A = this chain, B = another copy of it.
Amino acid sequence: MAGRGVTIADVAARAGVAASTVSYVLSGKRSISPETADRVMAAVADLGYHPHAGARSLASRRAGVVAMMLPLRDGMHLPVLMQFASGAVTEARRHDQDVLLMTADEGPAGLARVAASAIVDGLILMDVEVRDPRVETLRRLGLPSVLIGFPADAEGLTCVDLDFEAAGRVCARYLVERGCGDIALLGASEAVYARRTGFAERVREGFLGQGAARAEVWPCPDDAVSVQRTVKELLTSKPELTGLAVHNEPAVGHVMHALADAGKRVGEDFHVVVIGPDEVAERTHPQLPSVLVPAETLAETAVRHLMRKLDGLEVPDSTLIEPQLTLR
């Protein structure tokens, strides 16, 4: 029952077979008679045997670990990141893999390090930007990988992301269906738009592309005062406005209060839809419909794709996750 220092030889001895036989039982790479297999499995359980990870990786050239590189920039949405990380770990464990956590500030050198030391079999790169210095290194290393987000040149890479354009479209459509003629998208602060053109711009395009309403996009900082001001300006400049999509998580609460101050009754003569986590949309009064960033689904998809690549199977170069609108 213990487990400290139990080797495959101990298991083999107890089951009365050769070490290689134990290995084959455990890996299933050669056929073994059921009786022998049972004896081996019993010995494994009795002794609490777990193969030594280092020895295994040395002999089999497979570490059983994948790396996940998370961004650490300011303004990253921490809860989503965390959901992502835990989703990835959960899915990886289903495939009997562990997850090594890295931060983006290790940069390309970090990728080179983990690749050369064979400490991981593959990696997942989160929050890839349009011009990302890690992408070139990644391509050169030839380490199996999956990216969350789309770099400018995705040639030969496996990328996964939320279909942000569809998300924008879904929000616009929701508002139009509620009878809104003038609608607006309240986005993130200018800084975010400047950095990740891909991501924020695709929402904008989807939102504007839904031609049935007069639509505008307004960037917006996320502190209480700025939100108040932005909403006031918005309502002044578009007095006919009756529908608003908010793609700025921390601002949502402030937006609701600003609308209340302006005499808008949300859910009656005015409609609001959120792009963001459930908690945010649930915590307002009234609760709001929302399109969430499906962090867990993204993580699972990414891990699953990576596993397939490790097994030498095909995966699509590009995968877009459909946004889901939750009514409340």
Contact = CB atoms under 8 A, between A and B. Distances in A.
A6 B141 CA distance: 13
A106 to B, nearest CB: 7
Nearest to A59: B54
A152 interface: no
Nearest to A224: B285
Interface string A238-270: 000000000000100110010000000000000
Interface string A200-218: 0000000000000000000
B282 A223 contact: yes
Interface string A134-169: 000000011000000000000000000000000000
Given A65-B100, A285-B224, A52 B58 contact: yes
Contacts of A48: 112, 116
A72 B89 CA distance: 11
A82 B93 contact: no
A292 interface: no
A57 B53 contact: yes
Interface in A30-67: 48-58, 63, 65
Interface of A: 3-4, 6, 48-58, 63, 65, 68, 70, 72, 78-79, 81-83, 85-86, 89-90, 93, 98-103, 105-106, 112-119, 141-142, 222-225, 228, 250, 253-254, 257, 279, 282-285
22 contacts: A52-B117, A53-B117, A53-B118, A54-B54, A54-B119, A55-B58, A78-B78, A79-B82, A85-B85, A85-B101, A89-B103, A93-B103, A98-B101, A98-B102, A98-B114, A99-B100, A222-B283, A223-B282, A223-B283, A224-B285, A228-B285, A250-B283
Given A63-B54, A224-B285, A116 B6 contact: yes
A50 B117 contact: yes
Given A52-B117, A279-B250, A283-B224, A102 B79 contact: no
A90 B106 CA distance: 9
B103 A100 contact: no
Contacts of A85: 82, 85, 101
A54 B58 contact: yes
Contacts of A223: 282-283, 285
Contacts of A68: 101
